[in-house]
Amino acid sequence: MFGKWMVAKKYLVSGTQLNLSTAGLFSILANRCLLLSFLAVSLLLSSGATLVFAQDQSQAPPPQDKTQDSGKPKQDVPPEAGGPTDNVGPYAIPKRNPEETPAPPPPAAPAKVEGMPDYSIKVNVPLVNVDVMVSLKNNGQFVSGLTKENFRLFEDGAPQQISNFGVTKAPITAVLLVEFGATRYSFMLDALRASYAFAHTLTKDDWIAVSYYDMNPHILVDFTQDKQAVYGALNQMRIPGFSETDLFDTLYDTLDRLDRVQGKKYIILITTGFNSFSRTTLDQVMKKIKDTKDVTIFPISVGQIARIMGNAGNRGMGIHASEMDYLQADNEMRTFAAMTGGRAYFPRFQAEYGEDFQDIGSDIRNQYSLAYHPTNSKLDGTYRKLKVQVVAPDGGPLKAKDQKGKEQKIEVVSRDGYTAKHTVD
């Protein structure tokens, strides 16, 4: 303020030295008076503010009222608390209990011996599971009451020690795969009869998927326990769209899909066995079957009456299969069944369908489950042949009797072999 006053004084003195008129002089004097008044007011305000501030600092703060507006006492804020301090009180920071026991330190790593290399030992012992169906050869009746001592198991001719043994009575998880092409009406009718006969044997705990194929596979219903859904899927097969039959591609695709399903699976294949439209070869299908685990194929041949009567060919629709073609198809279905531990059926009359599917249901729901650790523990991905024998406890031939008390021969059905796991798997 002292500097501002000196500037104003100098300006006033210098103004008196100018040669001005009377009006101009009075104007300058008036402006200077206004400036002096402004400076005086500013000086007074600055002094007053300083005094007031000093007076506020000298006064002691009033005591805090510990009663809220609602009449409830306020919470005292602890010095270590944090957060807002309004009417609801502070948000205290939780403290760690000093009496808590600290976590124990991790165990010290063993001292490394100088000059000794680091190494680890890993033992991978494979376990092979084999499902065996044992029945009377004349009527397919399941032979019950067998024990582990009644079975002999061989892998590539070498005897194996059975480590696990049991009788499985599990629900069915199966795909009903039906050939439905515009070849002959008798073939289509037989396929539908066989499909409905299989649906009649289902129980409430079975899981069934329904597919049909002509020149392409078609999934009608995914896995379901609803028998009415199975019937509804079969009711859709009324007018075939194509006359081609793509068996190899469809079977390959079905096996590939079943790889993602856990547990034991079955394919109920209702077909003539004749393949007329496939990119996949028979060798490729055979290799796929060998590499697939836990899948059993039960082929049901249709069109046997037409073949017996000699009119199985269908020249009117551009497809003509000779008797040699159908004999080859029968042999392929027997091979598919033997490789997977199933059976092939060739019914000639409608009444045989019910009996055949009853046998299939009995085979699936009543099986002996064997497991062993192979003596050949190499993980080389090779295909190994299996053979299962059923003998009496003394090692001699097992004798079984039917319901009439007559001795009958025993039929043992199991898969022909398996593909060992490869090291890179």
- pLDDT tier at 370, thresholds 50, 70, 90: very high
Same domain assignment for residues 155 and 202: no
- pLDDT tier at 424, thresholds 50, 70, 90: low
Same domain assignment for residues 248 and 294: yes
Supply angle C-alpha 266, 269, 270, rounded to 5: 145
- The DSSP secondary-structure symbol of 277 reads S
- pLDDT tier at 241, thresholds 50, 70, 90: confident
| pLDDT tens by residue, 310-336 | 655 544 444 556 778 888 889 999 999
Dihedral pair phi/psi, residue 138, rounded to 5°: -80, -35
Assess if residue 277 is contained within a domain: yes
Same domain assignment for residues 276 and 228: yes
Tokens of 397: 């031939």
What region does 318 belong to: left with phi over 0, alpha with psi -120 to 50, or beta?
Answer: left
The answer to whether residue 212 scores a pLDDT higher than 80 is yes
Same domain assignment for residues 299 and 274: yes
Same domain assignment for residues 134 and 229: no
Least confident of 36-40, 91-95, 346-350: 91-95
Same domain assignment for residues 352 and 413: no
Assess if residue 42 is contained within a domain: no
Assess if residue 159 is contained within a domain: yes
- Most confident of the ranges 86-90, 182-186, 210-214, 239-243: 210-214
The answer to whether residue 161 scores a pLDDT higher than 70 is yes
Return the pLDDT at 299.
Answer: 94
Structural domain that includes position 138: 128-168+369-419
Assess if residue 84 is contained within a domain: no
Return the pLDDT at 140.
Answer: 73
Return the pLDDT at 73.
Answer: 53
Query: Which residues are registered as beta bridge partners of 224?
Result: 208
Quote the number of domains for the chain.
2
Same domain assignment for residues 160 and 242: no
Burial class (CB in 10 A: 0-12, 13-18, 19+), 152: middle
**Which of 365, 382, 397 is the endpoint of a domain?**
365
The Cα–Cα gap between 302 and 125 comes to 44
| pLDDT tens by residue, 37-93 | 555 545 544 444 444 434 444 444 455 554 444 454 555 545 544 444 444 444 344
- pLDDT tier at 364, thresholds 50, 70, 90: confident
CATH of the domain at 299: 3.40.50.410
Question: Mean pLDDT, to the nearest integer, of 223-252?
Answer: 88
Assess if residue 232 is contained within a domain: yes
Tokens of 390: 């059923």
Same domain assignment for residues 244 and 359: yes
Return the pLDDT at 118.
Answer: 61
Assess if residue 290 is contained within a domain: yes
**Which of 328, 349, 365 is the endpoint of a domain?**
365
Q: How many CA atoms lie within 13 A of 241 on its CB side?
A: 9
Of the candidates 142, 124, 14, the residue with the CA atom closest to the CA atom of residue 402: 142
Same domain assignment for residues 334 and 402: no
Assess if residue 396 is contained within a domain: yes
Percentage of the chain modeled with pLDDT above 90? 28
Same domain assignment for residues 342 and 206: yes
| pLDDT tens by residue, 12-22 | 444 444 444 44
Q: How many CA atoms lie within 13 A of 295 on its CB side?
A: 23
Return the pLDDT at 153.
Answer: 94
Assess if residue 19 is contained within a domain: no
Same domain assignment for residues 294 and 396: no
- pLDDT tier at 221, thresholds 50, 70, 90: very high
Return the pLDDT at 266.
Answer: 93
| pLDDT, mean over the chain | 75
Same domain assignment for residues 233 and 356: yes
What region does 284 belong to: left with phi over 0, alpha with psi -120 to 50, or beta?
Answer: alpha
Bigger pLDDT: 58 vs 147:
147
- pLDDT tier at 157, thresholds 50, 70, 90: very high
**Which of 339, 365, 391 is the endpoint of a domain?**
365
Return the pLDDT at 176.
Answer: 93
Return the pLDDT at 232.
Answer: 92
